[in-house]
Structure 1
Amino acid sequence: MTKKEIADGVVHTTPIDLQKALKASPVALEAWADITPLARNDWICWVEGAKKAETRERRIERTRDDLMAGKRRPCCFPGCNHR
């Protein structure tokens, strides 16, 4: 069996903790692979923008759950300003 690569965003690389959450859910992982690199960039930037560890954990969980629900971008996030 080959190791499945987790795609990155345009500017940001997918952090290890987010990779673990995605790998734990085949549905979320498939959705992650299906969204555009710009959309992945927005999710990563949103997760990494958290100031507290608890907020980051919640955002990672929400990313996984939202992807499983078919959402393609983080809600109420204006988009990554690094692109």
Structure 2
Amino acid sequence: MSVERMMAGISASITDFKANPNAIIQRSGGEAVAVLKSNVPCFYAVPPELFEMMSEAVEDLALLTQARERLGDGKEPVEVNIDDL
């Protein structure tokens, strides 16, 4: 028997979720909901606000990675004043 990792504090069966997804999302209090099939997470449902936050975090991480790569490219950094741009 394997144990599945659940990445949400609230869960609902897929049957309950299909019956009334809005109620499940509202009951989550803005958190992600693990939707279970045979007691195993088959997908996560997230409210729009949380999805936006997650998307922004991924974008920020990509920009940070790009900035670190550019800082490590061996070229001398150039200081600029944002007002001069």
Greater RCO (CA < 8 Å, at least 6 residues apart): 1
Q: Between Structure 1 and Structure 2, whose CA radius of gyration is higher?
A: 2
Q: Could you state the TM-score of these two structures normalised by the residue count of structure 1? A: 0.25
Structure with a larger share of its residues in strand? 2
Structure with a larger share of its residues in helix? 1
Q: Could you state the TM-score of these two structures normalised by the residue count of structure 2? A: 0.24
